[in-house]
Amino acid sequence: MTDGKKKRTHVIRKPPKAPPPKWNPRIVVFACNWCSYAGADTAGVSRIQHQPHFRMIRVMCSGRIQPGFVLRAFERGADGVLVSGCHFGDCHYVNGNERAVEQFEKTMNIVKLLGLEEGRLRLEWISAAEGARFAQVINEFTDQVRDLGPSPLNGQNHTEKTQTEST
Amino acid sequence: MPELAEAARRTNAWACYDCGKCTASCPIARIGGNYSPRRHVLATNLGHREDIIENGTLSSCLTCKLCDQRCPAQVGYTQLVQQLRELSHREGVEPECPHGGALQSLMRMMAKGGTQQDRMNWLGKDLETDAAKGEVFYFTGCTMYYDTFFPEFQLNTLNGTRAAVRLLNRLGVKPVVSPTERCCGHDLLWNGDRKNFELLAKHNVQMVVDSGAEVLVTSCAECLRTWKIDYEPFYTGKMPRMMHITEYLTDPNYGGPNLKYKAGEQRRITFQDPCRLGRHLGIYDPPRKALTALPGVELTEMRRSGSGAMCCAGGTWSNCDRFAKQIQVQRLREARETGAEVLATACPKCQVHFRCAMKDPNLGGEIEIEMRDVAELVADALE
């Protein structure tokens, strides 16, 4: 008798439809010391709201971000990687960001060969004053990666899965 | 340390009588590197772990096998290095990976799997292949990644790969080129990462067995060595015969007389023996036969060739340093001394490393020489 009562109250208290838990991506943001990192700081001090699902890695110049960095991030479980630096002409080291473009293009081509979606990797120029733009880029990119879902390299059983698929 | 004793037993290191021929012939030691194979063999025999693992020179070895060739006591030093690197990898010591470890990351991601790699796009429309079943399996290797990763070298290792498939087509073979292929794991194994190597090995062996192939052909010397020697513990069922493309082309049962060439201009070609093909597998003649069969080709050997050939000094993505650069420059000078117009090779890695050396702004003109894969030269001479 008491059991039945308990059950009923449980049913009543349960919300009609539980919203599915929202999956949040893990994003790695590489930011240069002089522009993008300061841009993120501007977003912070100006209290501009943005999604918080990223980890930021500060480098002295975007030209330093070689394919190995990005690939290592994907290997270690990043669902998306954002590379950011100063606008053209604004680079603290004159043309480091031109070097960044070369490196980025190479990385993008490798990522495509590897079979990861292009949308998981992005290059953006964000200056120190562009706090609002930083927030906007982060929001856009986070939504984009969320739509793509978890990185195919992240599944625990992916190796077995693809092996059986291929056989 | 019991692991060291075991490694010494397996590689015959106990037989070392300390003559030092290995160090005397080691390319790295000869060019001035602080590197001594003999010291590693002795330390292994004595069980001196710190001399091997903490001393930091283990990743300098080119694994070119020149010392094995010269050793009067048949110590398998190259095999010993492979095992010592595994040991030091287990202890958390890894080589300083050139290129920021990007290539190692790539290989580990392939080992993990989960994505559909873009492994077929290079084929184009005129080449005929089958994605699943066939008598001949063509193991592509990672040339598409090299061409993408080194755009600054104007590298085109994919041309060699394409040429190999074109030659197979000409011989009436429609080879299997599988979209599920993954890196053979050669470099991971030689960096000491056995765990990820095994994942790749099992995947690739299963893929080839499932294709029902009788012959596996590859144009990469490293892939061939890995398939023939390092994959052996993973063989299942009926394994195909494994051949380098130059072996396939010169074998009377397969290629041999069936290829017809057009008359070509007189030209001189020299051949770089890849260490994996030559000293590791003992394949010296087939690439030479394939080249001399071409009309108008005069093959001139470099000062050091065959079993004494100098390696491209970058085999395992772990040892690119100033000594490697000097070795490459020396080798390119040798190639230029022959008066050859073309430096042919049978391993895409040789091309990557020599082309990198040619980028030296101070020497560029002096050591520049056209580099082609043997398969490319053969395919270009077809009627």
Identify the band that residue B8 occupies on the pLDDT scale cut at 50, 70 and 90.
Answer: very high
What percent of chain B clears pLDDT 90, i.e. is strictly above it? Answer: 82
* H/E stretch holding A31: strand A27-32
pLDDT on residue B291: 95
- For residues A155 and B160, the model is more confident at B160
Q: What is the dihedral of CA B82, B86, B91, B94, to 10 degrees?
A: 70
Question: What pLDDT digit, counting tens, does each position of B306-320 carry?
Answer: 999 999 998 788 888
Break chain A into its structural domains and give their ranges. Answer: 27-149
* Contact criterion met (CB < 8 Å) for B114 and A75: no
Q: How many CB atoms lie within 10 A of CB B311?
A: 27
Strands A80-85 and A121-125, sheet pairing: parallel
Chain A, residues 125-154, CB within 8 A of chain B, namely 152-154
Is the distance from CB of A64 to CB of A33 less than 8 angstroms? no
Length of chain B, in residues: 383
Are A116 and B151 inside 8 Å of each other by CB?
A: no
Tell me the CATH number for domain B258-380: 3.40.50.1860
Instruction: Determine the distance in angstroms separating the CA of B311 from the nearest CA of chain A, rounded to an integer.
Output: 26
Q: For residue B376, is pLDDT > 70?
A: yes
pLDDT grade, residue A163 (50/70/90)? very low
- The answer to whether the CB of A135 falls within 8 A of the CB of A43 is yes
Strand order in the sheet with B370-373: B297-299, B267-272, B342-345, B370-373
pLDDT band of B257, cuts 50, 70, 90: confident
Nearest C-alpha of chain A: how many angstroms from B187?
16
Contacts of A69 in chain B (CB under 8 A): 100
pLDDT band at A8 (very low <50, low <70, confident <90, very high): low
Mean pLDDT over A88-94 rounds to: 95
- The pLDDT of residue A154 is 85
**Interface contacts (A, B; CB < 8 Å):** 88
Q: Provide the residue type at B16 as one letter.
A: C
Per-residue pLDDT reduced to its tens digit, B202-228: 999 999 999 999 999 999 999 999 999
Best of B96, B99, B146, B148 to disrupt the A interface (most A CBs within 10 Å) is: B148
The helix (H) or strand (E) run that includes residue A38 is helix A36-45
Name the residue facing B199 among A72, A153, A159 (closest C-beta): A159
Say if residue A28's pLDDT is above 60: yes
Interface mutation vs chain A, best among B97, B109, B178, B182, most A CBs within 10 Å: B109
Residue B343 binned pLDDT confidence (cut-offs 50, 70, 90): very high
* Mean pLDDT on B262-270: 92
| B40 pLDDT above the threshold of 70 | yes
Helices B2-10, B37-46: axis angle to 10 degrees equals: 120
Q: What's the mean pLDDT in B5-25?
A: 94
The per-residue pLDDT for A17 is 73
pLDDT value, residue A10: 56
pLDDT of residue B56: 77
Position A159 scores a pLDDT of 39
| Contact yes or no for A163 and B203 at CB 8 A | yes
The domain B98-250 is placed in CATH, from the list 3.40.1130, 3.40.50, 2.60.40, 1.10.1740, at 3.40.50
**How much is the average pLDDT of A69-92?**
96
Given an 8 Å threshold on Cβ–Cβ distance, is B114 in contact with A154?
A: yes
What pLDDT is recorded for position A5? 53
The pLDDT of residue B308: 93
Which residues on A lie below 8 Å from B97 (Cβ)? 68
Average pLDDT over residues B346-375: 93
Contact A153 B144 (CB under 8 A): no
Tell me which fold the domain A27-149 belongs to.
Rossmann fold (3.40.50)
| Distance (Å) from the alpha carbon of A156 to chain B's nearest alpha carbon | 9
What the block records as the tokens of B241 is 């015969």
Q: How confident is the model at residue A165 (pLDDT cuts 50, 70, 90)?
A: very low
Q: Cβ contacts (< 8 Å) between B111 and chain A: which residues?
A: 159
A167 neighbourhood in chain B, CB within 8 Å = 206, 210
Q: Please give the mean pLDDT across all residues of chain B.
A: 93
Band of the pLDDT at A22, cuts 50, 70, 90?
confident
Give dist(CA B13, CA B5) in Å, integer.
9
Residue B222 confidence (pLDDT): 96
**Cβ of B106 and A114 within 8 Å?**
yes
| Contact list, A155 vs chain B (CB under 8 Å) | 114
**Considering CB atoms only, which of A67, A110, A162 is closest to B113?**
A162
Neighbours of A19 (CB within 10 A): 6
Residue A159: list chain B partners with CB under 8 A.
111-114, 199, 203
Residue of A nearest to B196 (CA): A159
**% of chain A surpassing 70 pLDDT:** 81
Report the C-alpha gap between B194 and B173 in whole angstroms: 35
Residues 6+ apart with CB under 8 A from A70: A30, A81, A83, A107, A111, A121
Q: What is the mean pLDDT of residues B17-28?
A: 94
The yes-or-no verdict on residue B184 having pLDDT over 70 is yes
Percentage of residues in chain A having pLDDT higher than 90: 78
Topology match between the domains B98-250 and B258-380? yes
Planar angle of CA B30, B34, B36, nearest 5 degrees:
70
Position A158 confidence tier, pLDDT thresholds 50, 70, 90: very low
| DSSP class of B181 | -
Give the separation between CA B219 and CA B217, rounded to whole angstroms.
7
Quote the percentage of chain B above a pLDDT of 70: 100
Per the model's pLDDT, the better-predicted residue between B237 and B338 turns out to be: B338
C-alpha distance across the termini of chain A, in Å: 55
Write down the domain spans for chain B: 2-90, 98-250, 258-380
Query: Could you tell me the CA-to-CA distances from B21 to A109, B60, B344 in Å, in that order?
Result: 45, 18, 30
CB contact under 8 A, B114 and A152: yes
> Tell me, what amino acid is at A37?
Y
Q: According to the model, what pLDDT value does residue B369 have? A: 94
Of A107, A94, A100, A143, the closest CA to residue A125 belongs to: A100
Residue A12: the pLDDT is 61
Q: Compare all CA atoms of chain B with the CA of A113 and give the residue at the minimum distance.
A: B118
- What is the bridge-based pairing of β-strands A121-125 and B136-139? unpaired
Q: Does A108 touch chain B (CB under 8 A)?
A: no
